Amino acid sequence: MNEDFHVFYRPQDFDEVIGQDHIISSLKNIEKKGNWPHAYLLVGPSGVGKTTIGRIIAKKLKCEPANLIELDAASNSSVEGIRNLTSTLTYKGFGENATRVIILDECHSLSKQAWQALLKPSEEPPSHVYFIFCTTEEDKVPDTIKTRCTQFNFRNVTRDNLFDLLSIVAESEKLTLNEKELDLIAQSSEGSPRRALTLLSKAQGAESIEELRDILESIDDSVPFLELCNLLFKSNLSWPKLVTLVNNLEDLPPETIRLKIISVMTNRLLKTTDEAKAVRILNILNAFKGFWNPSEKKAPLLLALGSLVFESEDEE
């Protein structure tokens, strides 16, 4: 049995990618014409296939593994690292194919100086060099870089597509999860195939739908996040406590935080038969409805929490 489902079942070709048909169609047209751009900007939520498609593009360019450079900009954002990288680009790759591909994941984390160091290489790259910028926060990518790139906007994958993926993997791995349980995992995956497969690998030992819900609620949630969700159930919400928990939350995109809270609350709503609790959860869900712009950082979260705290005080 394979434990790392999201690694083992990562698509290796365009036809294996799910939920991004508009992008795959465009890339296939580019492949057919053989006129590959030298710079790409892949924008979209986490876990929907940006890095995967970047690797497939590298494969289509016949880039050998030794000539593929993947850099996590979140942990390598300094100008020195980028300058060291760009200084080597004049050299062709090893092996029969000289093509070199640089995938910069979470590129929005790069410093201003690092972006400056990338301006000329991305505008006039050597014929053997291709850049693939991946980001969840398009607004943090300089316009001077965007104009040099062919941009593709990724979408969250539909629940039906995620269910189909989970069904195929579950059958291949001989898992005993039924359709209702697979659909619950698809619902909890926030539109992300990567998250869906991670949840599937963690939930394969669940012996009941109730146990599965508990597993899904706890996976990947930090202690401050769980504390925040639990605190929201209290009728006498404390604003200072909420602000402290918000400050302790990991630095996730606003929309990810919103979807995680909605997922937890929806699961709890489905399990409760207490009308008072149901009303409380519905109020929370109402406060967290609507898309949260990444450029607003934690402001939407604070606004949602404030509406719950201070509106409840007004009612009293």
In a domain, 27, yes or no: yes
41 and 148 both lie in a single domain: yes
Taking the mean position of all CA atoms in its chain, how far away is CA 217? 18
Q: Which amino acid is at 158?
A: T
Last residue of a domain, one of 138, 153, 168: 153
Nearest residue to 20 (alpha-carbon basis) of 134, 152, 113: 152
Q: What does the alpha-carbon distance between residue 200 and residue 2 come to, in Å, rounded to a whole number?
A: 11
**Does residue 100 sit in helix, strand or coil?**
strand
Last residue of a domain, one of 153, 180, 200: 153
In a domain, 171, yes or no: no
Please compute the mean of the pLDDT values over residues 176-183 and round it to a whole number: 91
Please compute the mean of the pLDDT values over residues 303-312 and round it to a whole number: 83
Q: How many CB atoms within 10 Å of residue 199?
A: 26
In a domain, 170, yes or no: no
Q: What does the alpha-carbon distance between residue 178 and residue 136 come to, in Å, rounded to a whole number?
A: 33
145 and 241 both lie in a single domain: no
Last residue of a domain, one of 100, 130, 153: 153
Q: Are 140 and 174 in contact (CB under 8 A)?
A: no
In a domain, 202, yes or no: no
pLDDT at 16 over 90: yes
Q: pLDDT per residue over 55-98, tens digit each?
A: 999 999 999 999 999 998 877 767 888 998 888 888 888 888 99
46 and 133 both lie in a single domain: yes
The structural domain count of the chain equals 2
**CATH code, domain carrying 104:** 3.40.50.300
For residue 276, the model assigns a pLDDT of 85
In a domain, 122, yes or no: yes
In a domain, 302, yes or no: yes
285 vs 220, higher pLDDT: 285
Residue 190's contacts (CB-CB under 8 Å, 6 or more residues apart) are: 45, 47, 156, 256, 259, 260, 263
The domain containing residue 308 runs over which residues? Answer: 221-316
Side-chain-facing half-sphere of 209: CA atoms under 13 Å: 11
pTM: 0.70
Query: Taking phi first (over 0 means left), then psi (-120 to 50 degrees means alpha), and beta for anything else, what does residue 190 get?
Result: left
Q: What percent of the chain has pLDDT over 70?
A: 92
In a domain, 215, yes or no: no
In a domain, 273, yes or no: yes
225 and 148 both lie in a single domain: no
